[in-house]
Homo-oligomer: A and B are copies of this chain.
Amino acid sequence: MTTLHIVDDDEAIRDALGWLFQSRNVPVAGWPSAESFLESWRPDTVGCLLLDIRMEGMSGLELFDRLLSKGCRMPVIFLTGHGDVPIAVGALKKGARDFVEKPFNDNELVDRVIDALAFDAEQREREAGQAGLAARLATLTQRERQVMELVVAGRLNKVIADELGISMRTVEVHRSHVFEKMRVKTAVELTRLLTGAA
């Protein structure tokens, strides 16, 4: 289980939520403002976000926007005592995970947070696989990448040789280097890797 980040400018609420989640064995971190969380956020911050909408300074919605533009993919649950439908709809359409009104039912909120944390874990697992892939892709040279793209496009070696204006033999060399670096044995496996198939 990873951390639930609670951003709310009301210390009493942060404390109450802190107790609630710690009693359910959900690790919690509290932040008194959108600014403070934004400052401490790093691309490798994991878990989920419980975000109050109305706060002094930056609002929860604005924090959400800023995080999105920074590439943050953590699931976000909005919490608000002033929630209205257009705001909820807008937040969800932008990609928020959930939207809960105060006063909330403790068990329900816990369920939603756990759901969001599970989603985050799954998402990171998926991305971990992609990270290894990206690392292997990074070891390819330009030429190898070109050849790889044509191989994955279904071209035969002779056609690739034509298109790149080099000999078939050279294509074979690059091709085998690609297979080795990408740790596959056939063009089909490589295609599956790059198109993200099971």
A86 CB–B CB distance under 8 Å? yes
**When the two chains form the complex, which single residue of B88, B153, B154 contacts A85, counting CB atoms closer than 8 Å?**
B88
- Annotate A148-192 by CB proximity to B: 1 below 8 A, 0 otherwise: 000111101000000000000000000000000000111111011
Contacts of A98 in B (CB 8 A): 89, 93
**When the two chains form the complex, which single residue of B83, B89, B152 contacts A99, counting CB atoms closer than 8 Å?**
B89
Task: Return the chain B residue nearest A195 by Cβ.
Answer: B197
Contacts of A151 in B (CB 8 A): 188
A106 CB–B CB distance under 8 Å? no
Indicate how many identical chains form the complex: 2
Interface residue count on the A side (C-beta < 8 Å): 29
A154 and B188 form a contact (CB under 8 A): yes
A92 CB–B CB distance under 8 Å? yes
Instruction: Compute how far the CA of A98 lies from the CA of B88 in the bound complex, rounded to whole angstroms.
Output: 11
A35 CB–B CB distance under 8 Å? no
Instruction: Compute how far the CA of A188 lies from the CA of B189 in the bound complex, rounded to whole angstroms.
Output: 9
Instruction: Compute how far the CA of A92 lies from the CA of B151 in the bound complex, rounded to whole angstroms.
Output: 42
Instruction: Compute how far the CA of A89 lies from the CA of B84 in the bound complex, rounded to whole angstroms.
Output: 11
Task: Return the chain B residue nearest A98 by Cβ.
Answer: B89
Instruction: Compute how far the CA of A185 lies from the CA of B153 in the bound complex, rounded to whole angstroms.
Output: 12
Are A89 and B92 CB-contacts (below 8 A) given A154-B189, A188-B191, A191-B188?
Answer: yes
Task: Please list the 6 inter-chain residue pairs (A to B) with the smallest Cβ-Cβ separation, ordered nearest first.
Answer: A195-B197, A154-B189, A154-B188, A92-B92, A191-B191, A89-B99
Give 19 A-B pairs besides A89-B100, A195-B197 with Cβ atoms closer than 8 angstroms. A83-B85, A84-B85, A85-B88, A88-B88, A93-B98, A151-B188, A152-B192, A153-B188, A154-B184, A154-B188, A154-B192, A156-B186, A187-B187, A187-B188, A191-B192, A191-B195, A194-B197, A195-B195, A195-B196
